[in-house]
Amino acid sequence: MSEPVAVTLPITRVTLFEDRGEVRRSGPVPLQAGRGELRLAGLSPLLDDARLTARFADGGDAAVEAVQITRRWIGEATVDGARLAALEAERQAAQEAVAQAERKVTRAAERAEAATRTLARFTAQLGRAVWAAAGDDWRAGLAGLEARADAADAALQGARAAHRRAQQALADQMAGIAALDRDPERRLVADVVVRYRAAAAGQATLHVDGVTPCALWRPSHEAERLPDGRLRWTTGATVWQRTGEPWTDVALVLSTDRPSARAELAPLARDRLSLQSKAQKKKVMLSHRDEAIAQDDGAAVPGVYDGGEARVLRVDGPVSIPSDGRPHRVAAGGFTAAARFALRCRPELAPLVFLVAELRNEGPEPLLAGPVRLLADGAYVGEGEVAYVGPGERFEQSFGSDDRFTVTYERHRHREKKLIGSDRTHFVQAVTLRAVGAARASVEVELREPVSELEALQIKRSPELCTEGLPPADADGRVRATVDLAPGDTHETLLAFWMDAGSEVILADPW
């Protein structure tokens, strides 16, 4: 068998999963009759040996027999030993010069301090005895001490300057040694050898597929409010990769499939049924709960929820992603749909008024849960998020709070005294909206009534304590009231209910 033939195969397609990427290299390669070897050099060292495959797309009778991967270091540092020894000697001399300069600075500082103290004492004594001084002896003494102090200070400044020069010389020596001993191109690479058999010499297209970590994607979207009232939705993704190789002009495929998940069906556990005597009628203890979606605590990068069915998104056009580990946004389709924009307030959750768009997913694929970049007439206005939305399903998208309104939310109990029967407790919610802007606006206020799952408990509205004209609650207990506000107006919305339960039901406080 002859020596391996060196070939170059560019990366043509990348399929990204939740925690890894599948990289395909494709290109024409020369074939020789019989057995031969092809060598691809300088690939990513992160390639998984067990998931490295190769095949010929149009090689006729040619077939791949084996694929082998090896790793090596490139860019080995070549240092001149004599030059390095000379630089090391110069570095030691520079260190000694710095030490000597530091000692000179210390001595000069001590002399300058001593001269300053002597001059200060002489001046103090002279001030007390100048009336008794005779002749010009004190003038000569003072001039001599001043000259001594000036000379000591000049020597200190010179010693400090020499110390700075010695430190700079040492830094230059250290930089010279580091530059001589450093090789920025030293890195680990992988070489792949493809062994094949061919009936005749010629040319064929070779595909080499490998799986690598340090590459992943997560859904991310963009929603833009257009001047005509519609909403343009762009489905996309954020891509990270640090495989050691740049992806230049590749076809990018985004998949929610999980190659690392177990493929075996879990066995069913055995159920055991038993009989017991009929118990006597007991009281029913009720509890209240809020239905909510569990939120991620941020400790780990969340996965991609695809509704239980693997989804594949194909990015339009070639994409280039550098190997820098930084996030890069790519677009993978979208749609433009009619949207209803409304100001909405849910005071039980937040004392703010939000601009909300109601629309339908007009795209052929579901919207995967992820962050949403919000635009209004082309200008960036903030960040939001969207949950999983199926094709054709209606959903809401918030565009942030509106500062033209202030919201106050309170709730209290009103106890109604009855002459016959038990007293009745009404649970009252009060929302106060005040408009501080300069234009009239309508705000939809959403409040909630509890929803009972038992026939023995009924939730009833308290009309005498509610705002007139409140609509009935929907199946989820939500009550939506529209409030029209002129500039400076204040409006209060009240919603009250009470719970009608049988004697066998023990009620818990809903608040």
pLDDT at 387 over 90: yes
Q: Virtual CA dihedral for 350, 478, 293, 225, nearest 10 degrees?
A: -70
Q: Domain residues of the chain, as ranges?
A: 7-75+193-212, 83-128+137-181, 215-258+303-401, 405-506
Give the tens place of pLDDT for each residue, 444-456: 999 999 888 888 8
pLDDT at 122 over 90: no
The answer as to CATH 2.40.160 being correct for domain 405-506 is no
Q: Give whole-number Cα distances, 128 to 118, 122, 142, in Å.
A: 16, 10, 14
Q: Residue 201 class from Cβ within 10 Å (0-12 exposed, 13-18 middle, 19+ buried)? A: exposed
Tell me the mean pLDDT in the region 239-254.
95
More confidently predicted of 254 and 60: 254
pLDDT at 132 over 70: no
**Distance of alpha carbon 432 from the chain centroid:** 37
Give the tens place of pLDDT for each residue, 170-229: 888 878 777 665 555 678 899 999 999 998 999 999 999 999 999 999 999 999 999 998
pLDDT at 245 over 90: yes
Q: Virtual CA dihedral for 127, 130, 135, 137, nearest 10 degrees?
A: -30
More confidently predicted of 452 and 281: 452
pLDDT at 121 over 90: no
More confidently predicted of 219 and 263: 219
Give the tens place of pLDDT for each residue, 291-314: 554 444 444 446 788 888 888 999
pLDDT of residue 299: 41
**Distance of alpha carbon 359 from the chain centroid:** 27
Reading the block at residue 262, the tokens are 């177990």
- How many residues are recorded in the chain? 511
pLDDT at 411 over 80: yes
